[in-house]
C-alpha cells in the first residue's frame, strides 16, 4: 500500500558545557557574571548542606518524611536562576533548592516537613505554588497559571518541575497537550533522575528520550546534562526567552541522578547497585562546578561553615515554634465541610481535649506531649 511521509525523522539535541571533570567547552560557555556564578554555587552548596542536615533531623524524629535533593542541585539552580521574581515557580516535592533560591526561609521548609500547615503557605509576594506530593497533579495547574498570564497580557512565565515518573501520568500528557494548543508561556523542567522510586526509567517508557515527548504536542524539547549547571542554565534561559517572547512552551529533560534515597522512607540498596551509584558520584554537580570555579579563582574559603551556621540558626527558629494545631487540617479544602468531615473534626476535638489534664485549683493546664512523628524514637539510648 503506498504511503506518504508527513514528518521527516525528528531530532533531539543534547547540551553539555562542563564535563564530569569540570573541563569547559569554551564555545558553549554562557555569559554569567562572577558574582552570579558565586551565588549559584552558594545556593547549590546550601541545598546540599541543608539536605544532609534534614536527613539527620528526620532520623532523630525532629521532622517527618521528606525527599532529599542530593545530586540534583544543578538541575534546580541552573533553571530557577533564569526566572524573575514576578514569574511563577511550580514545584513538585523535591525542589528544596529551587525554593531556597526563591526566598523560602529554611525554618518554613522545616515546618512543612514537620506537619505544620503554615510551612506550605507561600508568602504574599511569592509567585510560587506550594509543594505538591501527588505525582504530576501540579502540571495542569501550572498550565492554567500560564494561560492566565497570557490572557491578562502579563509578561510573566511559568516554570514547572517534575520527575521522570511523572511522565507516565495522565496529568503530564494533558498539561503538555493544553500547553501546546494554547501556546502558553511555560517551561517544563523534568528532572530525570533515572528512578521513579524503585522503577527504572527503562520500565517507564520505550522512548529514547523524555524530551522527544514534547514534539508530539507541537513544541520543542531538549535534553541537557542535568549535573552541569551551565548547560541547564543555557537551555533554561533560551526556553524562558522563547516563552516570554510569545513563542510558546518548551520541555527540558535534565539527565541527572538521585544520589540518596527517594524519600527518607526508602531503602535504595534494595533495587540499585553500589557500582551504579559510584559512577554517578563521579559526575557530582557540585564537584564539577567547584572545579570550574577553582580555575576562575571564584571559590570562597569557609563557605561551608558559614552555611552550616545559617542552617543551625534556622533549625533553632523552627524548633521554637509552638505546637501545631491538628484541627487546621480541616480548614482549607472545603468552604463548607461535608457531614462526614464534620464528624471527623468533632472526633478530633474530643481527642485533643482528652489529652489535656484538668488543672488543679489555681494551677495551670498541663498538656501531654504530642504524638510521635513517623519513625520517631520514643526511647533514649542515653541515661536520663
Annotated catalytic residue, options 53, 242, 258, 288: 258
The percent of the chain in helix, strand and coil, each rounded to the nearest 5, is: 45, 10, 45
Which is the catalytic residue, given 14, 59, 84, 271?
271
Can you say whether the dihedral through the CA atoms of 245, 185, 71, 235 is positive or negative?
negative
The residues, any chain, with a CB within 8 Å of residue 70's CB and separated by 6 or more, are 48, 51, 52, 258, 259, 260
CA 326 vs CA 57, 320, 342, 347, 369: distances in Å = 21, 18, 14, 12, 13
Dihedral angle of Cα 358, 360, 365, 366, to the nearest 10 degrees: -80
Quick check: is 258 catalytic? yes
Give the separation between CA 198 and CA 173, rounded to whole angstroms: 22
Rounded Cα gap, residues 23 and 327, in angstroms? 54
The grid coordinates listed for 292 are: 570550574
Residues comprising the chain, all counted: 384
CB of 259 closer than 8 Å to CB of 70? yes
Q: Which of 218, 224, 255, 227 is nearest to 237 (CA)?
A: 224
User: Is 271 one of the catalytic residues?
Assistant: yes
- Residue of 102, 262, 288, 292 with catalytic role: 262
| Cα distance between residue 158 and residue 116, in whole Å | 27
- DSSP code string of 116-163: -GGGGPPPTT--BPPP--STTTHHHHHHHHHHHHHHHT----EEEEEE
Catalytic positions are: 258, 262, 271
Amino acid at each position: 500500500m503506498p504511503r506518504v511521509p508527513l514528518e521527516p525523522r525528528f531530532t533531539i539535541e543534547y547540551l553539555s558545557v562542563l564535563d564530569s571533570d569540570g573541563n569547559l567547552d569554551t564555545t558553549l560557555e554562557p555569559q554569567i557574571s562572577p558574582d552570579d556564578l558565586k551565588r549559584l554555587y552558594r545556593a547549590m552548596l546550601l541545598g546540599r548542606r541543608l539536605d544532609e542536615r534534614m536527613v539527620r533531623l528526620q532520623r532523630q524524629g525532629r521532622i517527618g518524611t521528606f525527599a532529599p535533593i542530593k545530586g540534583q542541585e544543578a538541575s534546580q539552580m541552573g533553571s530557577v536562576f533564569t526566572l524573575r521574581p514576578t514569574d511563577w515557580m511550580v514545584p513538585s516535592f523535591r525542589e528544596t533548592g529551587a525554593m531556597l533560591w526563591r526566598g523560602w526561609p529554611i525554618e518554613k521548609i522545616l515546618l512543612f516537613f514537620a506537619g505544620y500547615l503554615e510551612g506550605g503557605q507561600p508568602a504574599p509576594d511569592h509567585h510560587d505554588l506550594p509543594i505538591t506530593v501527588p505525582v504530576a497533579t501540579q502540571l495542569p495547574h501550572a498550565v492554567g497559571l500560564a494561560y492566565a498570564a497570557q490572557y491578562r497580557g502579563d509578561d510573566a512565565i511559568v516554570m514547572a518541575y517534575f520527575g521522570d515518573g511523572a511522565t507516565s501520568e495522565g496529568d503530564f500528557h494533558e498539561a503538555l497537550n493544553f500547553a501546546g494548543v494554547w501556546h502558553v508561556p511555560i517551561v517544563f523542567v523534568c528532572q530525570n533522575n533515572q528512578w521513579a522510586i524503585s522503577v527504572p526509567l527503562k520500565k517507564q517508557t520505550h522512548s529514547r528520550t523524555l524530551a522527544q515527548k514534547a514534539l508530539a504536542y507541537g513544541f520543542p524539547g531538549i535534553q541537557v546534562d542535568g549535573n552541569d549547571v551551565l548547560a541547564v542554565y543555557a537551555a533554561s534561559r533560551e526556553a524562558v526567552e522563547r516563552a516570554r517572547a510569545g513563542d510558546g512552551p518548551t520541555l527540558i529533560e535534565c539527565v541527572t541522578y538521585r544520589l540518596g534515597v527517594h524519600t527518607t522512607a526508602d531503602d535504595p540498596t534494595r533495587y540499585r547497585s553500589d557500582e551504579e551509584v559510584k559512577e554517578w558520584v563521579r559526575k557530582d554537580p557540585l564537584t564539577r562546578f567547584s572545579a570550574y570555579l577553582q580555575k576562575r579563582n571564584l571559590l570562597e574559603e569557609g563557605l561551608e561553615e558559614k552555611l552550616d551556621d545559617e542552617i543551625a540558626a534556622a533549625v533553632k527558629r523552627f524548633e521554637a515554634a509552638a505546637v501545631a494545631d491538628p484541627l487546621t487540617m480541616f480548614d482549607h479544602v472545603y468552604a463548607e465541610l461535608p457531614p462526614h468531615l464534620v464528624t471527623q473534626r468533632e472526633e478530633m476535638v474530643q481527642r485533643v481535649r482528652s489529652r489535656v489534664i484538668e488543672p488543679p485549683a489555681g494551677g495551670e493546664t498541663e498538656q501531654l506531649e504530642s504524638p510521635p512523628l513517623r519513625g520517631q524514637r520514643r526511647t533514649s539510648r542515653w541515661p536520663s
